[in-house]
Amino acid sequence: MPIKTAKLKLTPSVDLGFSNSGLAWQKYLGRGRDDNDLVANGIYHRVFQKTEHTIIYVNGFFQSRYIYPLIERRFSSVMVNDYNLCFVGGWWPNDQHGICINTYTGHLDRVISGQKPMAWLSAFKGRPSVQELRDLELKARSFGLATSFTETDDRLSLAVCRKGKLAELFDLKALRADYINFLANTSQVGYYRLVTKEVINTIDSLNGTTLEQYINWNTEPEGSTRYYILTGLLLGFPIESTISIL
């Protein structure tokens, strides 16, 4: 008997769930189920009195949970959404039929359609997928996207992004306000003051810059507050997923 999660009242924001019948490999699925007793496969939300949880399941297996305070949000963008978390390295999502989604083409298509600011795609040298990256670069350019190839000893990485001033693509004032509000309700006073200053400096520095200027943003020192904020915004991740690791 699978463990049911109906009592949790999970609300899906990204539902890649599939039915319990007709799958020969059902025995390889985890025990997580949604409110309809279907395999939990996607991103779900649970709202409490003062906090909200974002909960991620993959093929019925619990993966991660983000916990953050409920605030009155000011920032919103069609390019910043839960679905973009599906393209974090290591998650190859399945559709409702259990078929793996091609995250190469799906990743690029979201940038083309304006649902994601930027995407990074990688392939090891000597494999057919390298040519696929070259083909995707041509497709991206045909839609007016900026592109950049990065080459190392064993792999190639293709970065693609939309073009334009960040202050016109995003409401940076609202983004700044939401970060401050989240942090004010999350952290101890000393930590809050330190991180908030870094957040303000990072977001304010984006004024007057373009998205394509950051196409190789991963040269920023990894692990810094600036690195996490840039990663979240440029890849279109929800603010709360960044807040959870600051």
Q: What pLDDT was estimated at residue 184? A: 87
Buried/exposed 49-62: b ≥16 CB within 10 Å, e otherwise: eeebbbbbbbbbee
Share of the chain above pLDDT 90, in %: 37
Closest CA to 207 of 177, 237, 173, 162: 173
Q: pTM, whole model, 2 decimals? A: 0.84
Predicted confidence band at 146 (pLDDT cuts at 50, 70, 90)? Answer: very high
Q: Considering the chain, what is the average pLDDT of its residues?
A: 82
Q: Which residue has the higher pLDDT, 66 or 58?
A: 66
Do residues 96 and 89 make contact, with C-beta atoms less than 8 angstroms apart? no
Return the amino acid letter for 12.
Answer: P
Q: What pLDDT was estimated at residue 94? A: 57
What average pLDDT score do residues 223-241 get? 92
Separation of alpha carbons 153 and 124, rounded Å? 9
* 13 pLDDT higher than 80: no
What average pLDDT score do residues 139-152 get? 93
Q: What pLDDT was estimated at residue 4? A: 43
Predicted confidence band at 163 (pLDDT cuts at 50, 70, 90)? Answer: very high
Predicted confidence band at 99 (pLDDT cuts at 50, 70, 90)? Answer: low
121 Rama sector, left if φ>0, alpha if ψ -120 to 50, beta otherwise: beta
User: Range with the lowest mean pLDDT among 28-42, 78-92, 95-109, 126-140?
Assistant: 95-109
Q: State pLDDT tens for residues 107-139.
A: 899 999 999 999 988 877 766 577 888 899 999
What average pLDDT score do residues 46-60 get? 86
Q: Which two tokens stand for residue 72?
A: 């009155």
User: Range with the lowest mean pLDDT among 72-76, 97-101, 156-160?
Assistant: 97-101
- The enclosing H or E element of 159 equals strand 155-161
Separation of alpha carbons 208 and 218, rounded Å? 20
Q: What pLDDT was estimated at residue 34? A: 77
Predicted confidence band at 88 (pLDDT cuts at 50, 70, 90)? Answer: confident
* 192 pLDDT higher than 70: no
Give me the DSSP letters along 41-63: -EEEEEE-SSEEEEEEEETTEEE
- DSSP conformational letter for 101: P
Q: Which residue has the higher pLDDT, 109 or 193?
A: 109
Bridge partners, residue 151, by sequence: 156
| 66 C-beta neighbours (distance < 10 Å), count | 19
